[in-house]
Amino acid sequence: MIAIPYKFYLYAACLLLAVSPAFAQTPNKDPLFAEGKSYFAAGDLKRALDSFRQYEVISPNNLAVHFWIGLILDQTGDSKAAVSEYNQSLAQSSSINLDSAELRINMGNSHAKLGNSKEAQSNYQRAIAIDSANPLAYLGLSKCLIDSGDYDGALSTIDRFVALGGRDINVPLIRGLALAGQSKLAAAREQLHLFLNSTQGNQATNSAMTQLAVKILSEIEIMQ
């Protein structure tokens, strides 16, 4: 059996798309809130954060504004502060018996970037319990399962992601790592080569993921 490096998920976490929960999309007529969303859509995260922070002073118990602040903090590299904001949003939503698969996915992403694999896995599983048709929850969970050594679970989970219409460049990498962990070396080699071929010339490819695929392939070649 090939040992998959622990914290594989940490390498891949940043490739997950941040998503906006349904309650964050509900209409809000406050000019500062609307301004923050407009700046965010335009990619001006600094001004977006300033607007949402000003709105937070006016409405500190607004669950959506904490989500948006968390999203911006996560995208600007402060995942620890993002988790704190997401937790505030979750606390407010829980007080009205509301939970969100999308919020849970974003919390999972932030925990993964911090290396908190168990917390990430718990949030993805909660997201699936809330909305079993959300593909991104399965994508995140599959990476956590590889970290925990549950390769059967990782394969079935990534298959579910694809069955729900999910598309991600890392799908063959996830399959390849899980298959390598199961010592199914021929199938693993095929998937890892598929991943490397699909990433050639792709500027958005995470170099750490490419290096990981090459490392596992080299170990497969030695073993065969």
3-state helix, strand, coil in the chain (%, to 5): 70, 0, 30
**pTM tops 0.95, yes or no:** no
| Mean pLDDT value of segment 27-49 | 89
pLDDT in tens, 183-214: 999 999 999 999 999 888 776 567 778 888 88
SS3 call for 170: coil
| Measured CA angle at 113 (ends 74, 119), to 5 deg | 105
Type of residue at 208? A
pLDDT in tens, 85-106: 999 988 887 777 678 888 899 9
Q: Are 179 and 191 in contact (CB under 8 A)?
A: yes
Helices (H) and strands (E) in the chain, counts: 12, 0
pLDDT at residue 105 in the model = 92
pLDDT in tens, 145-195: 998 899 999 999 999 999 999 999 899 999 999 999 999 999 999 999 999
Q: Are 120 and 112 in contact (CB under 8 A)?
A: yes
In the chain the domains, ranked by start, together with CATH numbers, are 8-170 (1.25.40.10)
